[in-house]
Amino acid sequence: MSSVFKPVCELSINAVRSSLLEGSLELSLGVFSMRIGGTEKSLVDFLLDTYRDVPARLGPKDVTDISVNVRAPNFFRKYIRRQVIPDPGFIVPAVPLPPRLAPLAMEMGLNLSVALKCCRMTTFHAAVVGNEEGAILISAHSGGGKSTLAAALMAEGYRLYSDEFGLLDMREGLLWPHPRPVSLKAESIEVIKELSGDEWMSPTLTGTPKGDIAYRRVRPSEIDSAAVPGEAKLILFPVFSKGCNPSAKELPKAEALMKLIPSSTNYHLLGEAAFNASINMVQNARAFEITYGNVEDSLMMARDLAGKAGL
């Protein structure tokens, strides 16, 4: 077994498959190393396709930050009416999925692990993109359009830090990348396909509990920059309201802070350090609530506000 990191696409299908069966495929992306296990062919195909440029190694015995095993929920569901769940090493209320949705189970497991196990950084439920001048933190409720906006900004040349998490370092006050593929749902899939090109999209997973889902792949340049953090210069709170006129409202910093705190999964756990880091981040950024009715409007406003924030 190789202990050298190589892009997933340079590994053979058999090597990936046997490593997953052993539960010893390690992916390295930014601040987290992730050990993955699973028996499903759909998971092998997904990793070879959607994680194709991500550094991986086979069979390491080192400790990783995250470990997710995609497995059957019980003995019977391994063989009869087969199902899978993510097992991140702690009990989570996971809906059993058919084997073809093993990639979704893995993504859920990875997200839960970052959300519930990370104590090194303050985690916000947010997408983050940026350029050499700094970062844009996009915080929204589920369905608010943060992933779509992040993927649209990627098409504009911004680099992806993360689709699901703003990872705030508590000493430096910087946002760190963890660039996993961007999860897109329903109509957003076609919109981003058009902006980014088919070659950057994964096959669509149909009939998931959240409807159709496809992933926007991460670019090699974003993987190469995964160890380069950035300072938040702009914080956006997108609100989707079908058919509405686009509007942007600058938020007082205290209000921005109070909107961000509930989106953090570990703010209360980390206490004073998270408070100070969050205050410093908000202090140095401009924050806006943007209300929009379509992706073009949200992209136009984000582009304009990024310019105002010096990005």
| Footprint on this chain of another protein (rule: CB under 8 A) | 252-255, 257-258, 261, 267-269, 271-272, 275-276, 279, 282-283
Tokens found for residue 78: 């391994």
Q: Tell me how crowded residue 4 is: count the other CB atoms within 10 A of its CB.
A: 9
Q: How far is the CB of 91 from another protein (least distance, A)?
A: 24
H or E segment and range at residue 203: none
**Residue placing its CB nearer to another protein in the complex, 78 or 308:** 308
Least gap, CB of 211 to another protein (angstroms): 35
Measured from the CB atom, the residue of 5 and 275 that comes closer to another protein is: 275
Residue 21 or 273 having the CB closest to another protein:
273
C-alpha 21 chain-centroid distance: 25
Which one-letter amino acid corresponds to residue 206?
Answer: T
Q: Which is nearer to another protein, 138 or 256 (CB)?
A: 256
What is each CA distance from 291 to 240, 246, 284, 297, in whole angstroms? 6, 6, 23, 9
Question: In sequence order, which ranges of the chain are alpha helices (DSSP H)?
Answer: 13-22, 41-50, 102-117, 146-155, 187-196, 220-224, 253-260, 267-270, 272-283, 295-308
Min dist CB 119 to another protein, Å, is: 14
Least distance between another protein and beta carbon 135 (Å):
20
Closest to another protein by CB, 252 vs 310, is: 252
To another protein, the closest distance from the beta carbon of 252 in angstroms equals: 6
Residue 203, both tokens: 């096959």
